[in-house]
Amino acid sequence: MKKLSLSVIGMYMSILAAFSQSSPKSDSVYKSRKLTFEEANIVSSYYSQDGNNSAVTGGIGSEKLTDISNSIDLKLSMYDRRMRKHSFTGEIGIDHYTSASSDKIDPKTISSASHADTRFYPSLGWTMENEKKGTTVGAGLSFSNEFDYKSVGANLNFAKKTKDRTGEFSAKLQAYFDQVSLIYPIELRNGNALGGRGGEHYATTGRNTFSGSFSWSQIINQRFQLSVDAELVYQQGYLGLPFHRVYFTDNSVHVENLPSARLKIPLGIRANYFIGDKFIVRSWFRNYHDDWGISSNTFQLETVFKVTPFFSITPFYRFYQQTAADYFLPYQVHTIADTYYTSNYDLSKFNSNFYGAGFRMAPPDGVFKIHQLNAIEVRFGHYRKTTGMNSNFISLNLKFK
């Protein structure tokens, strides 16, 4: 039931993707034909939020939630007989959350099973890079499991560099096949899906997501890099959540009802500029449209300041603006004339601001003289929506090489 906060947590995790990348080893004279360790990352984070627009209680009520996340990823690599580099990655993640609003699915209970949950999400990936031809192909599998939600994902990717290696085209195809447990609010259950985790079983329904993303990156000169991204996402199946209440003008309560298909079209552009040896400016703009009536614009600016060659500070700021979905109305505004209805404020009109900073240390002899500990980074951020929701996030990343 953590979907209440996945969109926000996902945004925080996308910021975490800015962790520094290691330099490729392809320029070294010796290229091992044996499978060798390349790097590992351990990431831990803590997230908390509060607000008064919970979809579980019809757009009113506490949105208080906490989430503790831990993940570890491992990368191994080797060269085959044709000197193509094969990289193998594996990740295991575990999140644990507590949610005041989820506990309101059955308000007669005290700290019911829905009050907290744990998500487990392993993934595997493989890429093969032909350095001579400048091509890379890859594939991956993922799985996610929590009490009321299961997801299996697969992806294929391809990249091709230009002859002078200053430009690169990349494409990625992804598919996710999900199963949602139909856990309705207690007053709307028909008697066949009562209970919690004591051996009872809920009916499930499917949700599928298919996406294709394409990008072109170009090194303009020694200081300026640019990339353009386009994506097409199609979802079909049960796209709402069964425990989201909607209150009509007559005070009757209903389960959120949304269309069974959704088409999303995000377009983005990134630009990185190196100002001397100590400053890097990273900017990102994205425009988004879907056929539910939502349009949005995102602008992000991040500056890397190298205090020393081995210590850097990275302040960042993100602004987001969104129009409301055609099917959103607040508490007790929907009527029986509405075919589709939701009071989920993630689908409402709002602006948001997200800002914070990161601190990274990567000394040549290892962090705290531990040679295998290549880098350590701490990042924190504060998020604020015009709907009144606020959240805070802090993470720790340890990189081993």
| Two structure tokens written together for 261 | 């298909």
Range of the domain at 348: 2-20+38-400
The rounded distance, in Å, linking the Cα atoms of 244 and 256 is 5
Domain assignment present for 26: no
Q: What is the mean pLDDT of residues 141-168?
A: 96
- Paired tokens of 57: 């209680």
| Lowest mean pLDDT, pick from 13-17, 78-82, 98-102, 241-245 | 13-17
Rounded CA gap, 214 and 158, in Å?
10
Average pLDDT estimate for 146-167: 96
Q: Are 72 and 45 in contact (CB under 8 A)?
A: no
Give the C-alpha distances (Å, rounded to integers) separating 238 from 111, 149, 182, 205, 207. Answer: 28, 12, 10, 7, 5
pLDDT of residue 217: 97
Domain of residue 380, CATH code: 2.40.160.50
Q: What integer best gives the mean pLDDT of the chain?
A: 89
Identify the sign of the CA torsion 78, 80, 86, 88: negative
Q: Which pLDDT does position 268 carry in this prediction?
A: 98
**pLDDT reported for residue 168:** 97
Query: What CA–CA distances, in Å, run from 251 to 54, 325, 335?
Result: 17, 22, 10
pLDDT band at 347 (very low <50, low <70, confident <90, very high): very high
pLDDT at 371: 87
The answer to whether residues 381 and 390 touch, using CB atoms and an 8 Å cutoff, is no
Residue 324 belongs to a domain: yes
- CA distance linking residue 262 with residue 219, whole number of Å: 35
Q: Which of 24-28, 32-36, 246-250 has the highest mean pLDDT?
A: 246-250
pLDDT for position 306: 95
Answer yes or no: are the C-beta atoms of 2 and 148 closer than 8 Å: no
Give the per-residue pLDDT at 108: 57
**Rounded to whole angstroms, what are the CA distances from 57 to 46, 103, 187, 338, 347?**
25, 10, 12, 19, 15
Q: Is the separation of the CB atoms in 170 and 156 below 8 Å?
A: no
| Range 12-41 average pLDDT | 62
Q: How confident is the model at residue 29 (pLDDT cuts 50, 70, 90)?
A: low
Residue 16 pLDDT: 53
- Cβ-proximal residues to 252 (8 Å cutoff; 6+ apart), any chain: none
For 358-381, what is each residue's pLDDT tens digit? 999 999 998 988 989 999 999 999
Spatial distance between the Cα atoms of 113 and 244, rounded to a whole number of angstroms? 17
265 within a domain of the structure (yes/no): yes
The residue length of the chain stands at 401
C-alpha count within 13 angstroms, C-beta hemisphere, residue 154: 2
The confidence band for 19, taking pLDDT boundaries of 50, 70 and 90, is very low
Q: Is residue 354 part of a domain?
A: yes
Rama region for 278: left / alpha / beta (φ>0; ψ in -120 to 50; rest): alpha
In a domain, 33, yes or no: no
Report how many domains make up the chain: 1
CA–CA separation, 178 vs 175, rounded Å? 10
Rounded CA-CA distance 372/97 in Å is: 32
Is 31 part of a structural domain of the chain?
Answer: no
In a domain, 138, yes or no: yes
| pLDDT tens-digit map of 253-308 | 999 999 999 999 999 999 999 998 899 999 999 999 999 999 999 999 999 999 99
Asked whether residue 91 is domain-assigned, the answer is yes
